[in-house]
Copies of this chain bind each other. A is one copy, B any other.
Amino acid sequence: MTAEIISVGTELLLGTTVDSNAATLGQALARHGITCRHRQTVGDHLGRLTEALQLALSRSDLVITIGGLGPTQDDLTREGIAAALGLPLVAQPALEKHLRAEFERRGLRWVESNLRQTMLPEGAEALSNPHGTAPGLWCESGDKIVTALPGPPREFGPMVAGPLGERLAAKSGSEPIQTRTLKVVGVGESRVEELLADLMAGSHPTLAPYAKTGEVHLRLAAQGSQAAADAVFDPVEAVIRERLGWHVVGRDDESLESRVLDLLASRGETLAVAESLTGGQVVERLCRIPGASRVLVGGVVAYVNTVKRDLLGVQPNTLQEFTAVSGETACEMAEGVRNKLGAAWGLSTTGVAGPGPDSEGHPEGLVFIGLAGPNSTASERHVFGLGREINRARAAQAALIRIYRDLVHI
């Protein structure tokens, strides 16, 4: 079965909105084993939308439109589909009753333009939209299917996962494609490719690397049931873990930060963070994980030297002799935050985010990470140097990798 996506909306062509819905849908189609060969994007214009639908129907079995289902005059997707299929639009009293009840339940004022949302091409069914008022539609006509979903992502995503997904599974006739993602830290993409060249040449599962900031994601994919795919993934994952060792930090929903929290929780130990150039990024990433408070005591953002000295207890001598951008300061920050906040571990960052060198002439991108554990304190030095945002993100990543390595004893 082949599918084609038509994204509708002038804001997409003007570039004021990035079309993340199309990517969400592309992933869902791939998961259901449905081949998507074309995508079109058109503005809120009935003629061009109808032409796009006709072209799609001439070459694809299933056409999925995104957007243009609201109540305003700009919302023309229903009309376009009816025109392309040569079907009349028919009022659906049951849909109107449902919609009026929804408006009342949500305390919204009913306006007559909402009646547009109760019209469907003859023979089409409504697809329920649990997060909005505009229903989707599903229309089978001859050997073709046209289906339409609303554009707001918080309505669109649940509909792809729910009502549309069920119909795709029923219609696709192919087995779904299952995926598993392994997250790899502390080693570059090209080295990963070298180490796994034989596995990447395989096709069941396929294995592809994706470079992220300070991380490589390995995506395994195989067609079949979840159980069948797991049976294919498990031995390959075992080989990858054997070859890459501690570099494999987690799988699917696991992340570097969730893994650090889990490792600490399993030891019953706590963490405090002292940040200079990363300015709260390390602690913020940890705080995003629900339940972080069982491990994360808190953090100090010590942007100026007086805070490093007064709040974290960094020695004035250290700051004078070695400056704030030094392994010595990183170590004292880590020890200071551990002691002041009463945690088992203290983790620190200090360095030059940029733009440009600091007042003492340290180059942009020079970063020191400090880690004070139950048994010892150490620092490590990095030079990134690719711009303020990336330096800060890479430094936060390096800090989390540093404690992760210690926790897995590398």
A interface residues with partner B (beta carbon < 8 Å): 12-20, 22-30, 36-43, 45, 48, 52, 55, 210, 219, 272-273, 275, 278-284, 286-288, 290, 292-293, 296-304, 306-307, 310-311, 340-342, 354-355, 388-389, 392
Contacts and interface: CB of A to CB of B under 8 A. Distances in A.
Contacts of A26: 12-16
B287 A298 contact: no
A37 B13 contact: yes
B288 A301 contact: no
Given A283-B280, A292-B303, A38 B48 contact: yes
A301 B279 contact: no
Contacts of A281: 280, 284
Contacts of A272: 307
A283 to B, nearest CB: 4
A305 to B, nearest CB: 10
Contact of A19 (B18, B48, B278, B279): B18
A188 to B, nearest CB: 15
Residue with the highest number of chain B CB atoms closer than 10 Å, among A19, A23, A298, A389: A298
B300 A300 contact: yes
B290 A280 contact: no
A301 B292 CA distance: 13
Nearest to A25: B15
A335 to B, nearest CB: 15
Given A279-B287, A279-B288, A306 B39 contact: no
Given A286-B279, A292-B303, A298-B302, A19 B15 contact: no
A284 B279 contact: yes
B284 A293 contact: no
Contacts of A15: 22-30
Nearest to A23: B15
B311 A303 contact: no
A119 to B, nearest CB: 26
A368 to B, nearest CB: 17
B297 A341 contact: no
A37 B30 contact: no
A366 to B, nearest CB: 16
Contact of A341 (B45, B52, B219, B311): B311
24 contacts: A14-B30, A15-B27, A15-B28, A15-B30, A16-B27, A18-B18, A18-B19, A37-B45, A37-B48, A38-B40, A280-B283, A280-B284, A280-B301, A283-B301, A288-B389, A297-B307, A298-B302, A299-B300, A300-B300, A300-B311, A306-B341, A306-B342, A307-B341, A310-B342
A39 B13 contact: yes
A298 B42 CA distance: 48
Contact of A298 (B13, B23, B29, B303): B303
Contacts of A286: 279
Contacts of A37: 13, 42-43, 45, 48
B30 A23 contact: no
Contacts of A41: 22, 38-41
B19 A23 contact: yes
Contacts of A340: 310-311
A293 B388 CA distance: 14
A279 B290 contact: no
Given A19-B19, A23-B19, A389-B288, A280 B299 contact: yes
Contact of A287 (B12, B16, B301): B301
